[in-house]
Structure 1
Amino acid sequence: MDIIALRRRNLRAVIDTAINSGKSKSDAAFCEHFDLNPSHISQLVKGHGSFGERAARNLEKKIGLEVGFLDKENTPSTEIEKLDNNIVPVTSKLLPVLSWVQAGTMTSVETVNRSEISDWLPPLSIDDPEECFYLRVVGISNFPTYMEGDYILINPTLCASELISGDLIVVRHNTDATFKKLVIESDGRKYLQALNPNFQPNIIEFEEGAELVGLVIDAFRPLGGSRPKRDRRS
């Protein structure tokens, strides 16, 4: 089954689950509940509208589904049934997706102009601080553990003194931001290392004047790609 047909099937299952559970009386009631355009949803389900990645992610966000749910290949019936818990008014917080330019120039998340943020995603854990934000991975410096297009979740509330060797962090120097592994030597010297052993330079000194943007506490890969789960630090 191609990805577009898969999204249509899963969307139909979400709507049917809402109706069967009594949360909605009809497709139209479902759309009204989530402030969706009934005509557009009908087109998506029946195969007459474009159902690209952006449309799928936006729809998941509005309905309150986990990111990538509509792209799941063989969604077990038990997982479909769990959607009953999702078909309620969406009250969960959303976290901003910042650009690397914004990460490199901000002094705090509060200084970022919300009107300049076009993408918002749900947190990956209910315990994620409200100050967290996402960055979209670019380049190959941390390939293959982190590939271009992955989203990393940043906790900006930690101080540099709380970091330990091996932490994955985002730091900025002047207006440049970079994502690397922190290496702390026994004598206290700090370095930034790329996870990709073939990337050059692979390790650079944590320059004086560089500032911590935040700790990478989690990540996900769109479209159901798999990446080993890391231990979380908060």
Structure 2
Amino acid sequence: MDTVARRRRNLRKAIDALIESGKFKSDAAFCEHYDLSTSHISQMINGHGSFGERAARNLEKKVGWPNGYLDLENQEDQSPIVSESNVGPTKNNLRTIPLLDYVQAGLFHDVGYDGINPIGESYTTYQGYKPECVFSLKVEGNSMSPEFKAGDEIVVDASLEPKPGSLVIAQEVQHGIARTTFKKYRVIGINEFGVDVVELVPLNPDYPTYNSTQIEISIIGVVVRHNREITH
């Protein structure tokens, strides 16, 4: 058996081993997981596509097989190699978004960024329906702990309407003073005008809940991402 034929046989057997192990249900699932072309892999296995040295080594590297694995003459003597990785590549590209402070966030609206000078820039893979309406904030205080800690970065989409249970950036007005806050959005009823009565609820029970029957509340945006530095 020549080298190319051996590679085709070994690739078929390796994928079959992964399917039999329960890691994947089909060839297509294997290809999707490793961001491979299903038709290209099929051609490599069935002899309709080239399977040279570079293609073999690149495929081994991408899947996580040892260098030269597809060239083994007697693969029956080798234990099937099953990748146990629980991570994979993301297909979304990073893009830049403005990093605002809480005062600037209070000036943000659903038609997009209005030219206020951001305190910095951040990056996200989140796109959304209106990418220009996406910004980031640094969490302040402990009202949303333990899930969100001071210094964590959150990504906010100002074009989204909140749903019950959404985490939101909102503006609450008390005694004529507007403050921007990060809370959980809760609908508790409907008033006589058919408008939702809402509460802004902290995740930390030591902090107060705001009620729209007592103070003026407006929603700036819905939190869609949470970034945190891991201590090591």
More helix by share: 1
Scaled by the length of structure 1, the TM-score of the pair is 0.50
TM-score, structure 2 as length reference? 0.50
Q: Which has the higher strand share?
A: 2
